[in-house]
Amino acid sequence: MLIPFLVAKIHRATVTGSDINYEGSIAIDEEIMEKANLRVFQQVDVYNVNNGARFSTYVLPWPRASRGIVVNGAAARLVQPGDTIIIAAFALIAEKELDSLNAVIINMAAGNEIEKITHTKL
């Protein structure tokens, strides 16, 4: 049996831009993507702390060290630059694999600087 588990979370990132005319996605600074073990086109859920909006989309890279978090396409209507969001990635994991895997939680500080990275056993 496969069970959905959180495998990555970027906690309290700040939206730096939005583009309703771009194909749907969330663009994330490549360095932040790598530290969160996120891949291009990976599905993520996004939770807007400011207004309660929740949506699913996929990840695209944004220039490294830019600290950019940009929401594109229809989801751009659900955020404003400056909003605080949580980005969560889940995976279907076989029960026998759970003891060998970790989730990565990245806590963000002002300016989308990485404040803390925690690796937690599933």
Residue 11 confidence (pLDDT) above 90: yes
The span from the CA of 92 to the CA of 111, in Å, is 32
Answer yes or no: 56 catalytic: no
Q: Specify the number of domains making up the chain.
A: 1
- CA distance linking residue 117 with residue 104, whole number of Å: 7
Query: What pLDDT does 98 receive?
Result: 87
**Closest residue by Cα to residue 53 from 91, 28, 18, 21:** 18
Q: How many Cα atoms sit within 13 Å of 9 on the Cβ side?
A: 15
Weakest mean pLDDT among 33-47, 92-106, 107-121? 92-106
Q: Which of 18, 22, 56, 58 is catalytic?
A: 58
Three-state DSSP class for 51? coil
Look over the chain and give the mean of its residue pLDDT values, rounded to a whole number. 96
Q: Active-site residue 25, yes or no? A: yes
Q: Percentage of the chain with pLDDT > 90?
A: 93
Kindly state the tokens that stand for 50: 């400011």
CATH number of the domain where residue 32 is located: 2.40.40.20
The residue range of the domain holding 67 is: 2-121
Cα-Cα-Cα-Cα dihedral sign, residues 13, 62, 73, 45: negative
Integer Cα distance of 54 and 79 in angstroms: 10
pLDDT digits (tens, 9 = 90+) for 45-85: 999 999 999 999 999 999 999 999 999 999 999 999 999 99
Quick check: 23 pLDDT over 90?
no
Compute the average pLDDT of residues 30-58.
98
pLDDT of residue 99: 87
Tokens 């995976």 sit on residue? 91
Question: pLDDT at position 24, please?
Answer: 82
Question: What predicted TM-score, i.e. pTM, was given to this entire model?
Answer: 0.96
Of 18, 25, 47, 56, catalytic: 25
